[in-house]
Chains A and B, each alone.
Chain A
Protein backbone atom coordinates (compact mmCIF):
# COMPACT_ATOMS: atom_id res chain seq x y z
CA UNK A 1 0.00 0.00 0.00
CA UNK A 2 2.87 2.37 0.77
CA UNK A 3 4.35 1.77 -2.65
CA UNK A 4 0.97 2.35 -4.25
CA UNK A 5 0.76 5.73 -2.54
CA UNK A 6 4.27 6.65 -3.66
CA UNK A 7 3.54 5.54 -7.20
CA UNK A 8 0.34 7.60 -7.26
CA UNK A 9 2.37 10.65 -6.23
CA UNK A 10 4.98 9.95 -8.92
CA UNK A 11 2.27 9.44 -11.52
CA UNK A 12 0.71 12.78 -10.61
CA UNK A 13 4.10 14.50 -10.72
CA UNK A 14 4.80 13.04 -14.17
CA UNK A 15 1.46 14.29 -15.43
CA UNK A 16 2.18 17.76 -14.09
CA UNK A 17 5.68 17.70 -15.60
CA UNK A 18 4.28 16.84 -19.02
CA UNK A 19 1.35 19.24 -18.78
CA UNK A 20 1.72 22.17 -21.19
CA UNK A 21 4.91 20.76 -22.70
CA UNK A 22 5.14 19.89 -26.34
CA UNK A 23 6.72 16.54 -27.10
CA UNK A 24 6.69 13.16 -25.49
CA UNK A 25 8.41 11.99 -22.31
CA UNK A 26 11.29 9.74 -23.30
CA UNK A 27 13.46 9.60 -20.18
CA UNK A 28 12.48 9.86 -16.52
CA UNK A 29 15.12 10.25 -13.80
CA UNK A 30 14.27 9.16 -10.26
CA UNK A 31 16.44 9.41 -7.15
CA UNK A 32 15.83 6.97 -4.28
CA UNK A 33 16.95 8.04 -0.81
CA UNK A 34 19.01 5.71 1.38
CA UNK A 35 16.23 5.46 3.97
CA UNK A 36 13.34 5.23 1.54
CA UNK A 37 11.58 1.89 1.78
CA UNK A 38 11.36 1.76 -2.02
CA UNK A 39 13.96 -0.30 -3.85
CA UNK A 40 15.14 0.15 -7.42
CA UNK A 41 13.99 -3.40 -8.19
CA UNK A 42 10.47 -2.69 -6.94
CA UNK A 43 10.25 0.57 -8.89
CA UNK A 44 11.41 -1.08 -12.11
CA UNK A 45 8.95 -3.91 -11.59
CA UNK A 46 6.10 -1.44 -11.17
CA UNK A 47 7.24 0.98 -13.88
CA UNK A 48 5.13 -0.41 -16.77
CA UNK A 49 1.96 -0.35 -14.65
CA UNK A 50 2.85 3.01 -13.16
CA UNK A 51 3.23 4.70 -16.53
CA UNK A 52 0.58 2.83 -18.52
CA UNK A 53 -1.79 5.22 -20.25
CA UNK A 54 0.08 8.27 -18.95
CA UNK A 55 2.57 10.71 -20.43
CA UNK A 56 5.55 8.55 -19.43
CA UNK A 57 4.29 5.36 -21.14
CA UNK A 58 7.25 3.78 -22.89
CA UNK A 59 9.76 6.20 -21.35
CA UNK A 60 13.12 4.96 -20.18
CA UNK A 61 13.53 4.92 -16.41
CA UNK A 62 16.89 6.02 -15.01
CA UNK A 63 17.35 5.43 -11.30
CA UNK A 64 19.97 6.74 -8.92
CA UNK A 65 20.05 5.05 -5.51
CA UNK A 66 21.64 7.13 -2.76
CA UNK A 67 23.60 5.64 0.12
CA UNK A 68 23.81 8.93 2.03
CA UNK A 69 21.96 8.35 5.31
CA UNK A 70 22.37 12.00 6.33
CA UNK A 71 20.87 13.43 3.13
CA UNK A 72 17.94 15.69 4.05
CA UNK A 73 15.70 13.77 1.63
CA UNK A 74 17.06 10.33 2.59
CA UNK A 75 13.60 9.06 3.46
CA UNK A 76 12.04 10.09 0.18
CA UNK A 77 11.91 9.38 -3.54
CA UNK A 78 12.55 12.30 -5.87
CA UNK A 79 11.38 12.70 -9.44
CA UNK A 80 14.46 14.60 -10.56
CA UNK A 81 13.85 15.41 -14.21
CA UNK A 82 12.31 14.27 -17.45
CA UNK A 83 13.56 14.45 -21.03
CA UNK A 84 11.06 15.38 -23.71
CA UNK A 85 11.40 14.73 -27.42
CA UNK A 86 9.50 16.76 -30.00
CA UNK A 87 6.75 14.72 -31.62
CA UNK A 88 7.54 15.72 -35.22
CA UNK A 89 11.10 14.52 -34.84
CA UNK A 90 10.17 11.13 -33.55
CA UNK A 91 10.46 8.31 -36.08
Chain B
Protein backbone atom coordinates (compact mmCIF):
# COMPACT_ATOMS: atom_id res chain seq x y z
CA UNK B 1 0.00 0.00 0.00
CA UNK B 2 2.96 2.27 -0.54
CA UNK B 3 1.26 4.30 -3.26
CA UNK B 4 -1.70 5.00 -1.00
CA UNK B 5 0.49 6.47 1.73
CA UNK B 6 2.70 8.70 -0.39
CA UNK B 7 1.82 12.39 -0.60
CA UNK B 8 1.58 13.86 -4.06
CA UNK B 9 0.91 17.34 -5.40
CA UNK B 10 -2.81 16.58 -5.45
CA UNK B 11 -2.70 15.76 -1.74
CA UNK B 12 -0.93 18.99 -0.82
CA UNK B 13 -3.47 21.01 -2.80
CA UNK B 14 -6.33 19.03 -1.31
CA UNK B 15 -5.07 19.55 2.25
CA UNK B 16 -4.52 23.22 1.57
CA UNK B 17 -8.07 23.52 0.26
CA UNK B 18 -9.54 21.74 3.29
CA UNK B 19 -7.59 23.99 5.65
CA UNK B 20 -8.79 27.13 3.86
CA UNK B 21 -12.31 25.71 3.95
CA UNK B 22 -12.12 25.14 7.72
CA UNK B 23 -10.85 28.69 8.22
CA UNK B 24 -13.81 30.04 6.26
CA UNK B 25 -16.16 28.13 8.55
CA UNK B 26 -14.45 29.30 11.72
CA UNK B 27 -13.45 32.86 10.85
CA UNK B 28 -16.87 34.53 11.27
CA UNK B 29 -17.32 32.92 14.68
CA UNK B 30 -13.83 33.88 15.85
CA UNK B 31 -14.31 37.43 14.57
CA UNK B 32 -17.59 37.78 16.45
CA UNK B 33 -15.95 36.57 19.64
CA UNK B 34 -12.96 38.90 19.18
CA UNK B 35 -15.16 41.96 18.69
CA UNK B 36 -17.22 41.10 21.76
CA UNK B 37 -14.23 40.91 24.15
CA UNK B 38 -11.82 43.47 22.66
CA UNK B 39 -11.08 46.90 24.09
CA UNK B 40 -13.72 49.44 23.17
CA UNK B 41 -11.15 51.69 21.57
CA UNK B 42 -9.76 48.95 19.33
CA UNK B 43 -13.29 48.23 18.12
CA UNK B 44 -14.18 51.78 17.16
CA UNK B 45 -10.80 52.27 15.50
CA UNK B 46 -11.69 49.15 13.46
CA UNK B 47 -8.37 47.51 14.24
CA UNK B 48 -9.84 44.17 15.33
CA UNK B 49 -9.63 41.84 12.33
CA UNK B 50 -8.95 38.40 13.74
CA UNK B 51 -7.90 37.95 17.36
CA UNK B 52 -9.09 40.09 20.30
CA UNK B 53 -7.13 43.24 21.05
CA UNK B 54 -7.06 43.88 24.76
CA UNK B 55 -9.75 42.36 26.92
CA UNK B 56 -12.97 43.61 28.43
CA UNK B 57 -16.33 42.12 29.26
CA UNK B 58 -18.35 45.35 29.45
CA UNK B 59 -20.56 44.19 26.59
CA UNK B 60 -21.42 41.03 28.49
CA UNK B 61 -22.12 43.03 31.63
CA UNK B 62 -24.40 45.28 29.60
CA UNK B 63 -26.52 42.39 28.31
CA UNK B 64 -26.61 40.86 31.79
CA UNK B 65 -28.16 44.17 32.94
CA UNK B 66 -30.51 44.43 29.96
CA UNK B 67 -33.81 43.06 31.21
CA UNK B 68 -35.13 42.40 27.71
CA UNK B 69 -32.19 40.17 26.79
CA UNK B 70 -32.19 38.30 30.09
CA UNK B 71 -35.92 37.69 29.80
CA UNK B 72 -35.53 36.51 26.20
CA UNK B 73 -32.77 34.16 27.30
CA UNK B 74 -34.96 32.73 30.03
CA UNK B 75 -37.82 32.31 27.57
CA UNK B 76 -35.59 30.51 25.07
CA UNK B 77 -34.42 28.09 27.76
CA UNK B 78 -38.01 27.51 28.93
CA UNK B 79 -39.31 26.88 25.38
CA UNK B 80 -36.42 24.58 24.56
CA UNK B 81 -36.71 22.48 27.72
CA UNK B 82 -40.49 22.28 27.56
CA UNK B 83 -40.73 21.59 23.82
CA UNK B 84 -38.04 18.91 24.00
CA UNK B 85 -39.73 17.21 26.95
CA UNK B 86 -43.10 17.21 25.17
CA UNK B 87 -41.50 15.71 22.08
CA UNK B 88 -39.90 12.87 24.04
CA UNK B 89 -43.13 12.12 25.91
CA UNK B 90 -45.12 12.05 22.66
CA UNK B 91 -42.51 9.84 21.00
CA UNK B 92 -42.61 7.27 23.79
CA UNK B 93 -46.38 7.26 24.31
CA UNK B 94 -46.93 6.81 20.59
CA UNK B 95 -44.06 4.51 19.65
CA UNK B 96 -44.66 1.86 22.29
CA UNK B 97 -48.30 1.01 21.40
CA UNK B 98 -47.51 1.33 17.70
CA UNK B 99 -44.79 -1.29 18.05
CA UNK B 100 -46.89 -3.77 20.07
CA UNK B 101 -48.44 -6.58 17.99
CA UNK B 102 -51.14 -6.87 20.69
CA UNK B 103 -52.38 -3.40 19.77
CA UNK B 104 -55.11 -3.97 17.21
CA UNK B 105 -55.31 -0.42 15.85
CA UNK B 106 -51.56 -0.28 15.23
CA UNK B 107 -51.84 -0.44 11.42
CA UNK B 108 -54.64 2.07 10.80
CA UNK B 109 -53.25 4.61 13.29
CA UNK B 110 -49.73 4.43 11.81
CA UNK B 111 -51.20 4.97 8.37
CA UNK B 112 -53.28 7.97 9.38
CA UNK B 113 -50.53 9.66 11.38
CA UNK B 114 -48.12 8.92 8.53
CA UNK B 115 -50.18 11.19 6.29
CA UNK B 116 -48.86 14.17 8.26
CA UNK B 117 -45.43 13.51 6.73
CA UNK B 118 -46.80 14.40 3.30
CA UNK B 119 -49.51 16.97 3.89
CA UNK B 120 -49.46 20.16 5.84
CA UNK B 121 -52.11 22.83 5.85
CA UNK B 122 -49.73 25.72 5.27
CA UNK B 123 -49.12 28.93 7.12
CA UNK B 124 -52.49 30.69 7.07
CA UNK B 125 -54.86 27.80 7.87
CA UNK B 126 -52.53 26.66 10.66
CA UNK B 127 -52.37 30.18 12.05
CA UNK B 128 -56.16 30.58 12.02
CA UNK B 129 -56.67 27.19 13.66
CA UNK B 130 -54.23 27.91 16.49
CA UNK B 131 -55.85 31.31 16.86
CA UNK B 132 -59.26 29.68 17.23
CA UNK B 133 -57.83 27.51 20.03
CA UNK B 134 -56.75 30.70 21.82
CA UNK B 135 -53.12 29.58 21.63
CA UNK B 136 -51.64 32.79 20.24
CA UNK B 137 -49.21 34.50 22.58
CA UNK B 138 -48.88 31.49 24.86
CA UNK B 139 -45.86 29.32 25.50
CA UNK B 140 -47.94 26.31 24.37
CA UNK B 141 -48.06 27.39 20.74
CA UNK B 142 -44.25 27.29 20.65
CA UNK B 143 -43.78 24.06 22.60
CA UNK B 144 -46.76 21.76 21.88
CA UNK B 145 -47.31 21.52 18.10
CA UNK B 146 -43.61 20.84 17.52
CA UNK B 147 -43.91 17.70 19.67
CA UNK B 148 -46.32 15.96 17.28
CA UNK B 149 -43.83 14.92 14.66
CA UNK B 150 -44.47 11.47 13.21
CA UNK B 151 -40.96 11.30 11.84
CA UNK B 152 -39.47 11.05 15.34
CA UNK B 153 -42.11 8.50 16.32
CA UNK B 154 -40.98 6.31 13.43
CA UNK B 155 -37.39 6.47 14.67
CA UNK B 156 -38.32 5.49 18.23
CA UNK B 157 -40.68 2.76 17.01
CA UNK B 158 -37.93 1.27 14.84
CA UNK B 159 -35.64 1.27 17.86
CA UNK B 160 -38.23 -0.37 20.13
CA UNK B 161 -38.81 -3.18 17.67
CA UNK B 162 -35.13 -4.11 17.99
CA UNK B 163 -35.58 -4.76 21.72
CA UNK B 164 -35.86 -8.56 22.22
CA UNK B 165 -39.47 -9.68 22.65
CA UNK B 166 -38.50 -11.98 25.52
CA UNK B 167 -37.64 -8.98 27.67
CA UNK B 168 -41.13 -7.52 27.39
CA UNK B 169 -42.84 -10.94 27.62
CA UNK B 170 -40.92 -11.85 30.75
CA UNK B 171 -41.92 -8.55 32.36
CA UNK B 172 -45.55 -9.16 31.44
CA UNK B 173 -45.46 -12.66 32.87
CA UNK B 174 -44.13 -11.15 36.08
CA UNK B 175 -47.20 -8.94 36.14
CA UNK B 176 -45.69 -5.67 34.94
CA UNK B 177 -48.20 -3.24 33.45
CA UNK B 178 -47.67 -1.59 30.08
CA UNK B 179 -46.77 1.70 31.74
CA UNK B 180 -44.15 -0.07 33.83
CA UNK B 181 -42.70 -1.85 30.81
CA UNK B 182 -42.50 1.48 29.02
CA UNK B 183 -40.73 3.20 31.91
CA UNK B 184 -38.43 0.41 33.10
CA UNK B 185 -37.60 -1.48 29.92
CA UNK B 186 -38.29 0.66 26.87
CA UNK B 187 -36.96 3.99 28.15
CA UNK B 188 -33.59 2.71 29.41
CA UNK B 189 -33.02 0.77 26.20
CA UNK B 190 -33.99 3.69 23.94
CA UNK B 191 -31.67 6.25 25.49
CA UNK B 192 -29.39 6.78 22.46
CA UNK B 193 -32.23 7.45 20.01
CA UNK B 194 -34.05 9.62 22.56
CA UNK B 195 -30.86 11.63 23.10
CA UNK B 196 -30.50 12.11 19.36
CA UNK B 197 -34.08 13.30 18.97
CA UNK B 198 -33.79 15.56 22.01
CA UNK B 199 -30.71 17.23 20.54
CA UNK B 200 -32.36 17.80 17.17
CA UNK B 201 -35.51 19.25 18.68
CA UNK B 202 -33.63 21.36 21.23
CA UNK B 203 -31.47 22.99 18.56
CA UNK B 204 -34.49 23.51 16.31
CA UNK B 205 -36.50 25.26 19.03
CA UNK B 206 -33.53 27.28 20.31
CA UNK B 207 -32.86 28.56 16.77
CA UNK B 208 -36.49 28.91 15.70
CA UNK B 209 -37.46 32.33 14.47
CA UNK B 210 -40.49 31.54 12.31
CA UNK B 211 -42.96 30.32 14.96
CA UNK B 212 -42.24 33.07 17.51
CA UNK B 213 -42.55 35.68 14.75
CA UNK B 214 -45.90 34.25 13.72
CA UNK B 215 -47.52 33.45 17.01
CA UNK B 216 -46.04 35.80 19.63
CA UNK B 217 -46.55 39.55 19.73
CA UNK B 218 -46.07 40.19 23.42
CA UNK B 219 -42.48 41.26 24.07
CA UNK B 220 -42.60 39.53 27.48
CA UNK B 221 -42.80 36.22 25.63
CA UNK B 222 -40.13 36.84 23.00
CA UNK B 223 -37.29 34.32 22.74
CA UNK B 224 -33.70 35.22 21.87
CA UNK B 225 -34.14 34.89 18.12
CA UNK B 226 -36.69 37.70 18.00
CA UNK B 227 -34.45 39.82 20.22
CA UNK B 228 -31.51 39.12 17.92
CA UNK B 229 -33.48 40.36 14.95
CA UNK B 230 -34.30 43.59 16.80
CA UNK B 231 -30.67 44.15 17.70
CA UNK B 232 -28.77 42.90 14.66
CA UNK B 233 -31.14 43.56 11.79
CA UNK B 234 -33.41 46.31 13.03
CA UNK B 235 -30.49 48.14 14.65
CA UNK B 236 -32.38 48.70 17.90
CA UNK B 237 -29.54 47.72 20.23
CA UNK B 238 -29.67 51.15 21.88
CA UNK B 239 -33.25 50.57 23.03
CA UNK B 240 -32.38 47.17 24.41
CA UNK B 241 -29.29 48.25 26.36
CA UNK B 242 -29.86 51.51 28.21
CA UNK B 243 -26.71 53.43 29.02
CA UNK B 244 -25.05 56.80 29.07
CA UNK B 245 -23.00 57.17 25.92
CA UNK B 246 -22.15 60.74 24.97
CA UNK B 247 -19.84 60.16 22.04
CA UNK B 248 -21.82 58.62 19.19
CA UNK B 249 -18.88 56.86 17.52
CA UNK B 250 -17.96 55.18 20.78
CA UNK B 251 -21.57 54.32 21.47
CA UNK B 252 -21.89 52.78 18.01
CA UNK B 253 -18.80 50.66 18.56
CA UNK B 254 -20.04 49.59 21.95
CA UNK B 255 -23.43 48.59 20.54
CA UNK B 256 -21.56 46.46 18.02
CA UNK B 257 -19.80 44.74 20.88
CA UNK B 258 -23.12 44.19 22.61
CA UNK B 259 -24.59 42.63 19.46
CA UNK B 260 -21.65 40.29 19.08
CA UNK B 261 -21.78 39.38 22.76
CA UNK B 262 -25.46 38.51 22.35
CA UNK B 263 -24.58 36.28 19.41
CA UNK B 264 -21.93 34.57 21.50
CA UNK B 265 -24.27 33.87 24.41
CA UNK B 266 -26.85 32.57 21.92
CA UNK B 267 -24.36 30.20 20.33
CA UNK B 268 -22.77 29.42 23.70
CA UNK B 269 -24.89 26.48 24.83
CA UNK B 270 -24.62 24.81 21.42
CA UNK B 271 -20.86 25.40 21.09
CA UNK B 272 -20.24 24.11 24.62
CA UNK B 273 -21.98 20.77 24.20
CA UNK B 274 -21.21 20.37 20.51
CA UNK B 275 -17.91 18.44 20.81
CA UNK B 276 -19.54 15.90 23.11
CA UNK B 277 -22.78 15.31 21.27
CA UNK B 278 -21.64 15.61 17.68
CA UNK B 279 -21.71 11.86 17.14
CA UNK B 280 -25.39 11.70 18.13
CA UNK B 281 -26.23 14.36 15.56
CA UNK B 282 -24.39 12.50 12.83
CA UNK B 283 -26.02 9.20 13.78
CA UNK B 284 -29.40 10.89 13.82
CA UNK B 285 -29.08 12.23 10.28
CA UNK B 286 -27.93 8.87 9.05
CA UNK B 287 -30.69 6.90 10.74
CA UNK B 288 -33.13 9.37 9.24
CA UNK B 289 -31.57 9.09 5.80
CA UNK B 290 -31.58 5.29 5.79
CA UNK B 291 -35.12 4.91 7.09
CA UNK B 292 -36.32 7.52 4.64
**Is chain B found bound to chain A in the same assembly?**
no
Which residues on B are within 8 Å of A, measured CB to CB? none
